[in-house]
Chains A and B, each alone.
Chain A
């Protein structure tokens, strides 16, 4: 499996522009997560989906952020309009395959991260 795929890897844009980040989860995983990571705030969960349905979007900073998952193999995170404070690395992660048998080395909650998108808003 190729793992979680994200695009683009780097994005530089100007304030006010729309930004769309894309993610393809690992095949068979039924959970998909969007995170944002900065030096100041660490890794923050923005939103997560289960079977393509958004479950918890309480981490989405404001209405400028939106996320969709139209099917099991694709998700987008959109920022419109973008602001300099949105500059961060955005990670997508997926989970859902594991075992409930001891030694519990792999949980169905184990998340596998994509390489991230480094977003810079000027």
Chain B
């Protein structure tokens, strides 16, 4: 089976940097995804990691350590519009399992 853990809620200040962690236990690993979901909307794809290391994409970066079963999403220069839930999802042998998400609140 698969188990994914991420914090339920986080609060950060506009302009700051925030790191959202995700740990997982999985039978088989074929990649880790981060999705962003604004309230009342569908999840949208942010990043994908299949090899160890950091993938940078503008203000967002995602890190993966397969040996530790660990990933984080780093958001820089936070903006109010970044207030959303961030879902960690792991691709096992045949399907993707989503974590319950981290609700990020950006405050002025």
Residues of chain A having any CB pair with chain B under 8 Å: 42-43, 45, 48, 55-56, 91, 103-107, 109-116
Contact = CB atoms under 8 A, between A and B. Distances in A.
- 8 tightest Cβ-Cβ pairs between the two chains A and B: A113-B42, A42-B100, A43-B98, A107-B48, A113-B43, A109-B91, A110-B45, A104-B50
Interface of B: 30-31, 33, 41-45, 47-51, 55, 57, 87, 91, 94-101
A104 B48 contact: yes
A113 to B, nearest CB: 4
Given A42-B99, A42-B101, A91-B42, A103 B91 contact: no
Contact of A56 (B57, B94, B98, B99): B94
Contacts of A104: 48-51, 55
Contacts of A114: 42
